Amino acid sequence: MLYELHGVSKRYAQSKKKVAALHDVDLSIDQGEFVAIQGSTGSGKTTLLQMLGALDRPTSGSVLFDGVDLAGMKESELTKLRGRAFGFIFQAFNLIPTLTAQENVETALVPLHLSAAERGAKAQAALAELGLAERGKHLPAELSGGEQQRVAIARALVRSPRVILADEPTGNLDERTRDEIIALLQGLWQSRGQTIIVVTHDTHVAAPASRRFLLDDGAVISADAAADRVVVESPQRD
Amino acid sequence: MFLNYLFRELRHRHRQAVLTALGLALGICLVVTVSASAGGVRSAQNQVLHSLYGVGTDISVTQSAKSGSGGAQQFAMNPGSTKKQGQSFARDRVTSTMGLALLSTTKVTAVKSLSGVSSAVGGLTLSSMHVSGHFAKVSGSTSSSASKSTSAQPSTSSSGSATPSQSPIKISSFTIAGIDVSDQTIGPLSSTTLTSGRTFTSSETSAKVVVIDAAYAKQNSIVVGDTMKISGVSFKVIGIRKSATSSVDVYMPLLMAQTISGETGKVNEIYVKATSATQIATVKAEIKKTVSGATVTTAQDLANQVSGSLSSASKLSSSLGKWLEVAALISAVAVASLLTLSGVGRRVREFGTLKAIGWKSRRIVSQVLGEALIQGLAGGAIGVALGYAATRLIGAFSPSLQATVGASGLPTSRAGSFFGGAPGASSAGGGPGDALRGLSHTVTVYLHAPISVSLVAVAIALAVAGGLIAGGLGGWRAARLSPADALRRVD
């Protein structure tokens, strides 16, 4: 099993109040799955994605990745793991505005300490795979929303991570571009067997996923096995 | 990647980068200007001290005159015969400078033999007073009204007249320095520069030759080759020397000064050069033991006695100037830090993203520091350029500073020794009181603000340090960002 989450809770202090973003979540994800985590705004889906991407630690419970509890790892180890195992895609693309498309892709290779030539070659190949071979020298502002998100996907894919974590990847895109991105992710999953975890409130984005979790108020209230997978549900809350 | 990212970011946020650099530049400009001005003030002080003291002189030794040894100058003005009524007369009186006691030349030898003393020479400073005029005509009387009138008005101006029948009596005075011609590297002559003619040769110990101060020579139309009569002895003018601040009008060999004043084997000042600056305090103490009751003055003592606008400028530059520099630097660094922190604040998503994709905090901090370093270097360069312009402006205006040394600060003997008669003032003609006027001496120097390579290096280093402090704070903030928080804040 790639991921195993046991009793994961996350609480934040907000204006002297403790707010529970996640509440006793149990779930597991296997290598090669396309998982969609659905839920409304504030349901805790982004927090859950951040737990899975080693960006945040649970207040209680354990997040096992390849059998190792991420909660017990040092910050430097988490940084190293993020640079090696995960590829992130964000709703707002999060490209560095002053760097070209190719340089943005190269930022993901910085933690691997490759030579400039190697970085350039890999970044160009990743952009070409996503149909952006000619757009490498352009700044993000010179690209359309769809192109920017494809650059962000190239950045996530360029170092062949074990997991692609996408947070509302089509949230800032029109329907047509959204469908293109969905098709792209689905293609990656089918052709590469890439593990993909997508957080979305959009059922269209979740549709091609092999499994879908529905979060509400920080707890998994339902899981839908779109494919032949074992589903572990969290205890349902009132 | 590092440099591309760095320069693109600076170009992208050029307004903030320029503001940060300018903030640092203003601080550096102030540091450069104040430091250069302080350097100029120090240089002016040195100029004053060197001219007062002699470039090579470390210590000066004098002895205060004994109580009751003073008194009015006396001139024998009795014509002696009624036949001399209405005829001209001239009287000279050359005396050791008032307030200074005479020391035996054996003291010079004793001081010279002290350990830590590199060399020591004796000097004899004299006041020469010349009185000339015509004896009064007194019809029907055998007494001399001229003698009465002159003795009655010893301190009046040269145009003063005693009685309706007394023609004006001219009184002029000047200061003579007897120089040990065997070593002219220390003592009063060492602070002057030759403008025409030549200086004494070491063999001219008893030659009837004099060197004249340029200001005195100009005022009295004396040129090299002229003859000057002092106390009945004719001296040939062999050279003219210039000094910004010298109080001596005429220099002559020590032996001749002793001869015309009748003070054979005597000096009233000993100039000492120590083997090293660190020896000065020890030598001072040794001299005090050797010459009992001596006033031993070092260059530092003299510097402490200087008053006037130069002294005020010096105090201002050393106290207020320093604080001004510190305040300006703190302000500049604070502005740079605030702008950098605000810049980091605006880049939270960017840094959060980079952390999410595996960038180490160290790499992000170095990116922020690199940007701050460039801003610091630019600020330093602009600041030095602005500071250079400001110092050029100061140089163009060359504000004058006055240094006053004398009666208020120095012991009478020192004042009398160093400043016995301001140049020009004595020759303008006056009463015997002119000799005392020298007790206070004011020197004017012009302020320049020189910029040295080391000052430029320090300024650039301060700007870079300021930039790095700002970048360090910004980097620290960026490093502390949790990637989840950074990304969440955007969401």
What is the band of B45 on the pLDDT scale with cuts at 50, 70, 90?
confident
CA distance to partner chain B, nearest, from residue A228 (Å)? 32
More confident residue, B440 or B46: B46
Q: Is residue A236 part of a domain?
A: no
What is the band of A225 on the pLDDT scale with cuts at 50, 70, 90?
low
Residue from the list B4, B9, B354 with its beta carbon closest to the beta carbon of A103: B4
Instruction: Write down the mean pLDDT value for chain B.
Output: 77
CA distance to partner chain A, nearest, from residue B363 (Å)? 9
In A, minimum Cα distance to B4 occurs at A99
In this predicted structure, what is the pLDDT of residue B63? 82
Give the separation between CA B329 and CA B458, rounded to whole angstroms. Answer: 13
Give the 3-state secondary structure of residue B176.
strand
pLDDT, mean of residues B176-199: 86
Condensed to tens digits (0 to 9), the pLDDT of residues A189-216 reads 888 888 999 999 888 889 899 999 999 8
pLDDT at A234 over 70: no
Residue from the list A46, A92, A99 with its beta carbon closest to the beta carbon of B5: A99
pLDDT at B403 over 90: no
Give the separation between CA A54 and CA B53, rounded to whole angstroms. Answer: 77
In this predicted structure, what is the pLDDT of residue B149? 41
pLDDT, mean of residues A6-25: 86
CB A96 to CB B350 under 8 A? yes
Contact B24, B380 (CB under 8 A): yes
CB A107 to CB B359 under 8 A? yes
Contact A140, A102 (CB under 8 A): no
Residues of A in contact with B491 (CB under 8 A): 46, 91, 167
Q: How many domains does chain A have?
A: 1
More confident residue, A142 or B328: A142
Q: Which segment of B21-30, B74-83, B112-121, B407-416 scores lowest on mean pLDDT? A: B407-416
Interface list for B 359-378 with A (CB within 8 A): 359-361, 363
Residue from the list B349, B363, B487 with its beta carbon closest to the beta carbon of A110: B363
In this predicted structure, what is the pLDDT of residue B416? 33
What is the band of A98 on the pLDDT scale with cuts at 50, 70, 90?
very high
What is the band of B136 on the pLDDT scale with cuts at 50, 70, 90?
confident
Give the separation between CA B101 and CA B63, rounded to whole angstroms. Answer: 5
Residues of A in contact with B1 (CB under 8 A): 103, 106-107, 110, 116, 119
In A, minimum Cα distance to B490 occurs at A92
Q: Which segment of A78-82, B214-218, B313-317 scores lowest on mean pLDDT? A: B313-317
Q: Is residue A237 part of a domain?
A: no
Which residues make Cβ contacts (< 8 Å) with residue B141, sequence separation at least 6? Answer: none
| Domain chopping of chain B, boundaries | 2-41+315-399+450-490, 65-292
Give the separation between CA B88 and CA B131, rounded to whole angstroms. Answer: 11
Condensed to tens digits (0 to 9), the pLDDT of residues B334-365 reads 888 888 888 888 888 888 899 999 999 899 99
In this predicted structure, what is the pLDDT of residue B481? 82
B483–chain A Cβ distance below 8 A for any pair? yes
Residue ranges making up the domain that contains A72: 3-225
Q: What is the CATH number of the domain that holds A35?
A: 3.40.50.300
End-to-end CA distance of chain A: 30
pLDDT, mean of residues B451-460: 86
pLDDT at A238 over 60: no
CB B358 to CB A55 under 8 A? no
pLDDT at A125 over 90: yes
Give the separation between CA A143 and CA B230, rounded to whole angstroms. Answer: 99
pLDDT, mean of residues B199-212: 91
Q: Give the Å distances, CA to CA, from A212 to A30, A129, A223, B139, B256.
A: 13, 28, 6, 142, 117
pLDDT at A102 over 80: yes
Give the separation between CA B332 and CA B20, rounded to whole angstroms. Answer: 8
Q: Is residue A165 part of a domain?
A: yes
Residues of B in contact with A92 (CB under 8 A): 349, 490
Interface list for B 238-267 with A (CB within 8 A): none
Portion of chain B with pLDDT greater than 90, in percent: 13
In A, minimum Cα distance to B360 occurs at A79
Q: What is the DSSP secondary-structure string of B390-414? A: HHHHHHHH--EEEEEEETTTS-HHH
In this predicted structure, what is the pLDDT of residue B139? 59
Q: Is residue A191 part of a domain?
A: yes
Residues of A in contact with B350 (CB under 8 A): 94, 96
